Amino acid sequence: MSLIYKRSSALFNEAKEYIPGGVNSPVRAFNAVGGDPVYVKSAKGAYLQTEDGHEIIDYIASWGPMILGHAFEPVVTAVQEAASKGTSYGMPTALETEIAKLAVSMAPHIDQIRMVNSGTEACMSAVRLARGFTGRDKIVKFAGCYHGHSDSFLIQAGSGAVTFGSPNSPGVTAGTAKDTLLASYNNLAHVEELFVNNPEQIACIIIEPIAGNMGCIVPQDGFLEGLRHLCDQHGALLIFDEVMTGFRLARGGAQETTGVRADIVTYGKVIGGGLPVGAFAARQEIMNHLAPLGPVYQAGTLSGNPLAMSAGLAMLTHLNNHPEVYDDLAQKTEQLHLGIQDVLIEKGIAHQINRYSSMMSVHFCDEPVIDFETAVAGNNDWFKKYFHGLLERGIYLPPSAFESYFLNNALSEKDITRTIQATREVVASW
């Protein structure tokens, strides 16, 4: 029986009167897939409770942070206890040091970490720090990678910006754009050419080590290692944007799973346990350039907010004490991948499925999806049908072909089996 979301549609129509486009983040508007967004009333474990009275399986996990499922009890308890003492002080707390110490112990190659309020702020601050440390202006980013909505990054973004067909956002100045050099993901020769053409001008490379904003894109063998070598060769810094992957792929994030050292790492999502948070980290030599020690300014009244720090500490403590979570998640993701793949092969439907740990994406195309260009070559009409077909059957996927799935460990084998069966039903008539 197909689920109907009439109340969600009514709520969306009302929201459009007071909120631009009816949403506070563009991808929520369903422009990429058509129809009206689903409104959530509450969530628990692997399930979302909608305003329409339906319980649906969640495969976005709030875009990553709900790695242990929604309303994870230790996190909820920590937030409740923190809130009872006050919600914001604008002053230092011992809690900030406690979570910083834990994060530094879990992730390799970092000595210090600075808490901020979002992934956008973390990436913006990391690039400013890299420029201040190197004394250079230009940065290299990759088409299809999304590092938030700071001006420097909207020079051809993935995810929401591509969904709305405007990779170069109005409001970004020509002066800003000239200092951002675009490269193709998984194309080392292209990056090398940029260094040759801009000698001693590039401050840093910033990259999602496992991309999640053009679908899940996995780095090819030698690609990240090659970027590390180029940065060393030319005196630039390598920034890993681990806002999605940090503490999700492993205790040490992508640095641990790939074995590649980054100079600066940005974090978010998981370390807030679902609350707004971001962070950037590096070795002490680099972090010493930050105010109040150095000349690179960065500040925020809500940075290190006690609610977010309490939630993050509870989340990281659990992950640190239970590393088996990562194996469990990887196995569940593999099960989902192989099950969907078997159905699509059986039906003769052209597809590519990319997977890395607990991230994956389904692309309806013949050729391997290795970069932004191959990601946009997929059959978006098929994706729309697939998305809505599963939604009607109580399964929520990312509402854009340019987003990764994020699995949570509350998902059961029954949930995954149900998702595979729903896939079979949806594509039966294709």
Give the pLDDT score at 156.
59
Q: Is 384 a catalytic residue?
A: no
| Cα separation, 190 vs 13, whole angstroms | 46
Give the pLDDT score at 192.
97
Q: Is 85 a catalytic residue?
A: no
Q: Are 139 and 179 in contact (CB under 8 A)?
A: yes
In the CATH scheme, what is the homologous superfamily, with its name and number, of domain 6-71+323-427?
Answer: Aspartate Aminotransferase, domain 1 (3.90.1150.10)
Give the pLDDT score at 383.
96
Q: Are 51 and 396 in contact (CB under 8 A)?
A: no
Output phi, psi for 246, to 5 deg. Answer: -65, 125
Q: Go through 334-373 and write b for each residue having 16 or more CB atoms within 10 A of its CB, e for each that does not.
A: ebbbebbbebbeeeeeebbbbbbbbbbbbbbbeeebbbbe
Q: Go through 62-79 and write b for each residue having 16 or more CB atoms within 10 A of its CB, e for each that does not.
A: bbbbbbbbbebeebeebb
Structure tokens given for 305: 């907010």
Burial label for 17, CB within 10 Å (0-12, 13-18, 19+), is exposed
| Cα separation, 233 vs 227, whole angstroms | 10
H/E stretch holding 327 reads helix 324-346
| Strand arrangement, sheet containing 55-58 | 40-44, 47-50, 55-58, 395-396
- The catalytic residue among 5, 47, 59, 146 is 146
- The catalytic residue among 269, 371, 396, 415 is 269
Domain ranges within the chain, ordered by starting residue: 6-71+323-427, 75-321
Q: Are 243 and 119 in contact (CB under 8 A)?
A: yes
Give the pLDDT score at 1.
62
Summarize the chain as % helix, strand, coil (round to 5). 40, 15, 45
CA distances in angstroms from 125 to 84, 243, 291, 326, listed in the order given: 31, 13, 12, 29
- The catalytic residue among 52, 58, 179, 241 is 241
Taking the domain 75-321, which CATH number applies? 3.40.640.10
Give the pLDDT score at 315.
97
Q: pLDDT tens-digit profile of 271-315?
A: 988 899 999 999 999 999 999 999 999 999 999 999 999 999 999
Q: Are 207 and 240 in contact (CB under 8 A)?
A: yes
Give the pLDDT score at 139.
96
| Cα separation, 350 vs 367, whole angstroms | 9
DSSP string over 84-138: TT-S--SS--HHHHHHHHHHHHHSTT-SEEEEES-HHHHHHHHHHHHHHHHT--E
Q: Is 137 a catalytic residue?
A: no
Structure tokens given for 306: 């006690």
Give me the residues of the chain with pLDDT under 50, please: 157-167
The reply to whether 75-321 shares the fold of 6-71+323-427 is no
Largest CA-CA distance found in the chain, in angstroms, rounded: 64
Question: Cβ atoms within 10 A of the Cβ of 59, count?
Answer: 22
Question: Cβ atoms within 10 A of the Cβ of 83, count?
Answer: 12
Residue type for position 266: T
CA angle 144, 147, 151 (to 5 degrees): 100
* DSSP 8-class letter at 258: H
Question: How far is C-alpha 301 from the chain's CA centre?
Answer: 24
DSSP string over 363-429: E-SSS---SHHHHTTS-HHHHHHHHHHHHHTTEE--SSTTS-EE--TT--HHHHHHHHHHHHHHHTT
